[in-house]
Homo-oligomer: A and B are copies of this chain.
Amino acid sequence: MAANLLRALEFCLILFTIASIGGTSHEEQARKITEEFSGFPAHSLHSHFTLSPSTASVDIEGLRRQIEELASFSDAPGPAVTRVLYSDKDVLARRYIKSLMVQAGLLVREDAIGNIYGRWDGSEADLPPVASGSHIDAIPYSGKYDGVIGVLGAIEAINVLKRSGFQPKRSLEVIMFTSEEPTRFGISCIGSRLLAGSEELADALKQVVDGQNISFFEAARSAGYPIHQEDLSSVFLKKESYHSFVELHIEQGPILEEEGIPIGIVTAIAAPASISVDFEGNGGHAGAVLMPARNDAGLAAAELALAVEKHVLESGCIDTVGTVGVIELHPGAINSIPSKAHIEIDTRDIDEQRRNAVINKIRLSAIRIAENRGVTLSKFKIVNQDPPALSSSSITATMQDAARQLNLHSKPMISRAYHDSLFMARISPMGMIFIPCYKGYSHKPEEFASVEEITNGVKVLALTLAKLSLE
Task: Name A's B-contacting residues (CB within 8 A).
Answer: 139-142, 146, 181-183, 186, 188, 251-254, 270, 272, 274, 282-293, 296, 298-299, 301-303, 305-306, 309, 312-313, 318, 320-339, 344-346, 348, 416-418, 440-444
Contact = CB atoms under 8 A, between A and B. Distances in A.
Contact of A332 (B288, B296, B305, B325): B325
Nearest to A188: B335
A293 B443 contact: no
Nearest to A437: B288
Given A287-B346, A323-B335, A336-B443, 15 more contacts: A139-B333, A141-B331, A182-B334, A252-B285, A253-B285, A254-B293, A284-B440, A286-B323, A287-B417, A291-B313, A291-B320, A298-B325, A302-B305, A333-B443, A334-B344
Copies of this chain, whole number: 2
A292 B317 CA distance: 11
B329 A334 contact: no
Given A305-B299, A313-B291, A327-B298, A335 B284 contact: no
Contacts of A330: 141
A140 B440 CA distance: 41
A285 B186 contact: no
Given A287-B418, A418-B287, A306 B302 contact: yes
Nearest to A141: B331
B331 A142 contact: yes
B335 A287 contact: no
Q: What 7 A-B pairs are tightest by C-beta distance, nearest first?
A: A252-B288, A287-B417, A286-B323, A302-B302, A285-B442, A334-B344, A302-B305
A441 B288 CA distance: 9
A140 to B, nearest CB: 4
